[in-house]
Structure 1
Amino acid sequence: MTGSILIVDDDPVQRRLLEAAVTKFGHSAIVTDGGEAGLDVLDGPDARDVSVVILDLVMPGLDGIGVLKAMRERAINLPVIVQTAQGGIETVVSAMRHGAFDFVVKPASPDRLQTAISNALKVEAIEDEVKRTSRRRGGHLTFKDLITHSPAMDRVIRLGQKAAASNIPILIEGESGVGKELVARAIQGSGDRRSKPFITVNCGAIPDNLVESILFGHEKGSFTGATDKHTGKFVEAHSGTLFLDEIGDLPLDVQVKLLRAVQEGEVDPVGGRSTVKVDIRLISATHRNLLQQVKDGKFREDLFYRLNVYPIFVPPLRDRRDDIPYLVRHFMEKVAPADPRHRLSGISARALAMLQAYDWPGNIRQLENAVFRASVLAEGELLTEEEFPQIRAQVEGTVNLDAEPASAFAPVADEPQPDGQAASSGAAAALPETEAPARLQPRFGTLRALDERGNVRALADVELEMIKLAIDHYNGQMSEVARRLGIGRSTLYRKLKEYGIDPEAGRLDRLAS
């Protein structure tokens, strides 16, 4: 018996069907009727009992994407299976970008639902073991431990190594998921505070009314609910490093006190009668354009210049594609000790070419999640395109996957053995050189985004091809075609007429040239 399955759906019929199915599979169910109610469970005492979330995407009030965003902000790392009755690949991709584990189309068959739940539980179990292994390994992280062979990261490493030799405030900028915290840890691990505390605070995940208390501490009885004295993150980080992630999300009133803390080296606990001196190394990070926020009046100019003494920009993964093969291998090796089967030997050339062709809007975090899931659920000894269906649906048809990437299987020589959890457990080993397997039939129909000259195709051409694909895929069942395309039957028939297609024939006629 595993933990409970949290069902979040505004449709009472769907809730009953899902509850019955989940119970039949041998799990207990917690049922809620909307996004807000689902988050209340995840924030409450029953959260520890939840192993998987089944989440409807389209709901009034807080919808499924909103729930996924809130879960990420709260650092709730549960596998989420999203349900959708409408919307195309864009909807599914958006859900995956926001952290969804899998998706099912309503009404989902019991077998499909059971498979999704079993896969989610399997991945969660191995993920827990990976975390335990990482905690046991411990150690300090340095720049030698960062998995990179990209020229785009050379500047980051040079700047970080110089910064480690001083105590000036550092601002690390870059998109979500690029590894800003790893750079901060490498700076701390390479400086004279390496043996001191490293305290992290996600400023975007703290309720506004608690930010001041969490950062600066509070005295017992200083406000309702303050039953004990709390020292605050600044005091916890004394003599070490304080890492303020998503600094751009701090409320303006807290920014004033943060400025004083940085300038004077002292903090005022909420309800306290005296200030507390602190000695910290401050590293901030943001995915926002802080200078633009200053112009918009959302971030204090004086605080910006105080934090931006030494800026470091971490490039997105799409600008450092040479790192992808090494990162893939590292993430696969991270899974191996926790996977009882220990059967993966590598990744096919076609699969790696596909991963290098994708833009990774969620950056390294998204890549890690994709490789982790693929490694746990793969049945064979080699990861192939079949293990990355959502990415394959977006990439295939836009690039030549048969062309082996130049850097795909370059051996990695003299890469140091890890001291910290970000390094590869088999750093000196080369990626296995394997032959690309025979082309597999795609499980998803795909559209070409570019024409023969490499230009983006006209929207009308893509729309026509999409309609043809849908009619072929659903064997001319027009009601189903319209439903899957997210349009009305009358709109579908009008478009068919415009493109010169005879819907009654059950076949598609080519347009006259």
Structure 2
Amino acid sequence: MSGRVLIVDDERGVCELLDAGLKKRGFQAAWRTSAAEALELLGAEDFDVVVTDMTMRGMSGLELCERIAQNRPDLPVIVITAFGSLDTATSAIRAGAYDFVTKPFELDALRLTVERALRHRALREEVRRLRRAVDDSHRYEQILGGSPAMKGVFDLLDRVADSDTSILITGESGTGKELVARAVHQRSRRGQGAFVAVNCAAVPDALLESELFGHARGAFTDAKGPRSGLFARAHGGTLFLDEIGELPVGLQPKLLRALQERVVRPVGADEEVPVDVRLIAATNRDLETAIEERRFREDLYYRINVVHVDLPPLRSRGADVLLLAQRFLEHFATVKERPIKGLSAPAAEKLVAYAWPGNVRELQNCVERAVALARYDQITVDDLPEKIRSYRSSHVLVSSDDPTELVPMEEVERRYILRVLEVVGGNKSQAAQILGFDRATLYRKLERYGLRAGRASDPKP
């Protein structure tokens, strides 16, 4: 590790010794024999670390620390003292010193202290950069992202937010579909109304109709009184149907009529009730495939898919991974009262390289775990889950001249199919078209290679 070091000592011989020793160990160095001269040089040139003696004629090392801390709080100062007492160390730290070393010392020990100071300064700079990036990045309500893919999503949401147009949000699990739905609601003219959300996969089929449309008294055994449904509760606001691909086939015509006619009939009731809701639906399923397999009505699909918002997987969002990681890190460090300031460079590289099959939700859990386990003031590779530390990309690369590193054609095909599925977000109709297969052939190959049809990624190549 290299950097510019300013040495301050009122003994010229000590300055020359430290100057030669640090330069020999890869640092750039300059020296001055008084604190006043050092401050003058700091006003004209930039340095990464200051190494100063404690006791000097004129201004002392502690006074120099205080002046630097006031004017250059980003510049770490290392104090050299012949008095290795606790009081001396406390005085140095209180004066703003980053660390201190006691005489006599080995130059290699000073080198290690200087390197720690350089890493500390680099970390502070990286934290500031990420915080600026978080503050300056494109936002849509609580959604954060600066990648081209997310900028396109934000632009589309801006254009449709203030209308009553139905929206279908697609994307892999964990990409933030409900967060997008809430953001659209907040930006719309219905923002003061209710936002009512239901996961169609989480409610038993027998109860879902009553949950959506309500029921009349005596409609079934436990219906001791009338109950309004989610449509009625969302009147004047937005109804969000998550996992709409799991909606029972028998209930789909009733939902279609409610959307077309803007009326609902509670279970067991004789009269219809008018409703005024905006529908936003979401799914991580391939609804076009579901239509082909007669598990989803085509007319309902076109009714909910007036505007299609496809959320990109996290692995295709580039540096957004680090922006989100920094946001989550700051949040959990505050909540858990941990003094974690940022990510180490190796940890950041691991986060960017990983495929994130669980998307933003998985990243959030990963950062929360890392903050809880961190032993230092930054997240290191050791704080990350083992599957992220040991991740290997599924990209197909044929760049080796070593025959022992080459793989059979069957393995190349397996990896390529996996890569295409990753790129298209698991859409098997689109993947089959790209690969030149029919859908039946693609499913046979997925089964043959042990790739789960419901997942678009496999972290193990």
TM category (shorter chain) comes to 0.5 to 0.7
Partner residue, 1:453: 400
Match of 1:231 among 220, 228, 232: 228
- Pair 1:172-2:169 in alignment: yes
Q: Secondary structure at the match of 2:201?
A: helix
Match of 2:343 among 344, 347, 359: 347
- Pair 1:380-2:376 in alignment: yes
Task: Give the C-alpha shift of residue 329 in structure 1.
Answer: 0.7
Once the two structures are superposed, the pairs formed by residues 386-405 of structure 1 within 5 Å of their partners are 386-395=382-391
Instruction: Identify if the C-alpha distance between structure 1 residues 209 and 457 changes in structure 2 by more than 3 Å, giving closer, same or farther.
Output: farther
Match of 2:152 among 150, 155, 159: 155
Contact 1:143 1:190 in 2 (8 A): no
Once the two structures are superposed, the pairs formed by residues 69-468 of structure 1 within 5 Å of their partners are 143-340=140-337, 342-395=338-391, 453=400, 457-458=406-407
Task: Give the C-alpha shift of residue 339 in structure 1.
Answer: 1.0
Counterpart CA distance in 2 for 1:385 and 1:259 is 50
Residue identity in the other structure for 1:182? L
Residue identity in the other structure for 2:274? K
Bigger Rg, structure 1 or 2: 2
Task: Give the C-alpha shift of residue 220 in structure 1.
Answer: 2.8
Contact 1:242 1:281 in 2 (8 A): yes
Task: Give the C-alpha shift of residue 306 in structure 1.
Answer: 0.7
Counterpart CA distance in 1 for 2:317 and 2:401 is 22
Task: Give the C-alpha shift of residue 453 in structure 1.
Answer: 3.1
Task: Give the C-alpha shift of residue 279 in structure 1.
Answer: 0.4
Task: Give the C-alpha shift of residue 144 in structure 1.
Answer: 4.6
Counterpart CA distance in 2 for 1:337 and 1:274 is 53
Deviations 1:136-155 (A, max 9, x none): xxxxxx71532101001122
Instruction: Identify if the C-alpha distance between structure 1 residues 227 and 157 changes in structure 2 by more than 3 Å, giving closer, same or farther.
Output: same
Give the stretch that moved more between structures: 297-306 or 220-229. 220-229
Task: Give the C-alpha shift of residue 454 in structure 1.
Answer: 10
Instruction: Identify if the C-alpha distance between structure 1 residues 259 and 220 changes in structure 2 by more than 3 Å, giving closer, same or farther.
Output: same
Q: Cα RMSD between the aligned structures?
A: 2.5
Contact 2:325 2:364 in 1 (8 A): yes
5+ residue gaps, structure 2: 1-138, 412-461
Q: Secondary structure at the match of 1:244?
A: strand
Deviations 1:93-150 (A, max 9, x none): xxxxxxxxxxxxxxxxxxxxxxxxxxxxxxxxxxxxxxxxxxxxxxxxx715321010
Task: Give the C-alpha shift of residue 223 in structure 1.
Answer: 1.2
Contact 2:381 2:389 in 1 (8 A): no
Partner residue, 1:67: none
Deviations 1:300-333 (A, max 9, x none): 1111111111111111111112201110011112
Deviations 1:439-484 (A, max 9, x none): xxxxxxxxx9977539985379x9xxxxxxxxxxxxxxxxxxxxxx
Q: Secondary structure at the match of 2:376?
A: coil
Counterpart CA distance in 1 for 2:317 and 2:291 is 30
Task: Give the C-alpha shift of residue 389 in structure 1.
Answer: 3.0
Counterpart CA distance in 2 for 1:171 and 1:188 is 14
Counterpart CA distance in 1 for 2:386 and 2:366 is 10
Query: How many residues matched?
Result: 270
Deviations 1:187-243 (A, max 9, x none): 111111111111111111111111101111112321122334321111111100001
Residue identity in the other structure for 1:271? G
Higher relative contact order (CA 8 A, sep 6+): 1
Contact 2:370 2:379 in 1 (8 A): yes
Residue identity in the other structure for 1:162? R
Counterpart CA distance in 1 for 2:377 and 2:284 is 38
TM-score w.r.t. the length of structure 2 is: 0.55
Q: Secondary structure at the match of 1:199?
A: strand
Counterpart CA distance in 2 for 1:319 and 1:454 is 30
Contact 1:171 1:309 in 2 (8 A): yes
Q: Secondary structure at the match of 1:305?
A: helix
Give the stretch that moved more between structures: 205-214 or 449-458. 449-458
Counterpart CA distance in 1 for 2:309 and 2:385 is 35
Partner residue, 2:34: none
Residue identity in the other structure for 2:350? M
Task: Give the C-alpha shift of residue 360 in structure 1.
Answer: 0.4
Residue identity in the other structure for 2:149? A
Task: Give the C-alpha shift of residue 165 in structure 1.
Answer: 2.2
Residue identity in the other structure for 2:193? K
Counterpart CA distance in 2 for 1:451 and 1:351 is 27
Counterpart CA distance in 1 for 2:152 and 2:398 is 36
Contact 2:350 2:389 in 1 (8 A): no
Task: Give the C-alpha shift of residue 181 in structure 1.
Answer: 1.1
5+ residue gaps, structure 1: 1-141, 400-447, 463-513
TM-score w.r.t. the length of structure 1 is: 0.50
Q: Secondary structure at the match of 2:390?
A: helix
Instruction: Identify if the C-alpha distance between structure 1 residues 459 and 381 changes in structure 2 by more than 3 Å, giving closer, same or farther.
Output: farther
Task: Give the C-alpha shift of residue 379 in structure 1.
Answer: 2.4
Task: Give the C-alpha shift of residue 289 in structure 1.
Answer: 1.2
Counterpart CA distance in 2 for 1:293 and 1:235 is 29
Contact 1:449 1:457 in 2 (8 A): no
Counterpart CA distance in 2 for 1:361 and 1:395 is 12
Task: Give the C-alpha shift of residue 271 in structure 1.
Answer: 1.2
Deviations 1:269-290 (A, max 9, x none): 1111211111001101111111
Instruction: Identify if the C-alpha distance between structure 1 residues 454 and 302 changes in structure 2 by more than 3 Å, giving closer, same or farther.
Output: farther
Q: Secondary structure at the match of 1:321?
A: coil
Contact 2:366 2:385 in 1 (8 A): no
Counterpart CA distance in 1 for 2:279 and 2:236 is 11
Instruction: Identify if the C-alpha distance between structure 1 residues 365 and 173 changes in structure 2 by more than 3 Å, giving closer, same or farther.
Output: same
Deviations 1:244-303 (A, max 9, x none): 011110001110110011001011111112111110011011111111111111101111
